[in-house]
Amino acid sequence: MAYDRNLAERLRVATGGEHGIAEKQMFGGVSFLVSGNLAVCASNQGDLMVRVDPTAIDGLVNEPGVARMEMGTRPMKGWVRVTLANVDADADLRTWVDRGVAFARSLPPK
């Protein structure tokens, strides 16, 4: 499945006012990085990938439409997937973008 182009455009808008954001094709989708650290991605699986504080994941996966991200059968520490239905409203997407950007900003630049 190809990434959702509408989601990618919405991510461009949501990250447009952020300082130091770069867009890059990665993982078959469109990723948005902060100082070289991936923050959010319109994934090739048709959903939103968000980088978050690994200590927050247990609470986040209790939210509707949120799951731990897995590569194959291996859970990825510090990553969640959010279904498109749960970011349909711009305010909901902005919440997830803010989470991803905030965590990426907390990491050392690459």
Name the residue with tokens 């968000």. 50
Q: Is residue 56 assigned to a domain?
A: yes
Q: Is residue 46 part of a domain?
A: yes
State the DSSP string of 61-78: TTSTTEEEEEETTEEEEE
- Cα gap 109→49, rounded to integer Å: 20
Domain count, the chain: 1
Q: What pLDDT does 75 receive?
A: 87
For residues 58-84, b (16+ Cβ closer than 10 Å) or e, as one string? Answer: eebeeeebbeebeeeeeeeebbbbbee
Question: Which CATH number belongs to the domain containing residue 80 in this structure?
Answer: 3.90.1150.30
Measure the CA–CA gap between 17 and 19, rounded to whole angstroms: 7
Query: pLDDT truncated to tens, each residue of the chain (110 aa)?
Result: 589 999 999 999 999 988 889 999 987 899 999 999 999 999 998 899 999 999 999 999 999 999 999 888 898 899 999 999 999 999 999 999 999 999 999 999 98
pLDDT of the residue at 1: 57
Q: Length of the chain, please?
A: 110
Predicted confidence at residue 110, as pLDDT, reads 87
pLDDT for the residue numbered 104: 97
* Domain boundaries, position 97: 5-105
CA distances from 26 to 15, 22, 63, 106 (A): 17, 12, 26, 21
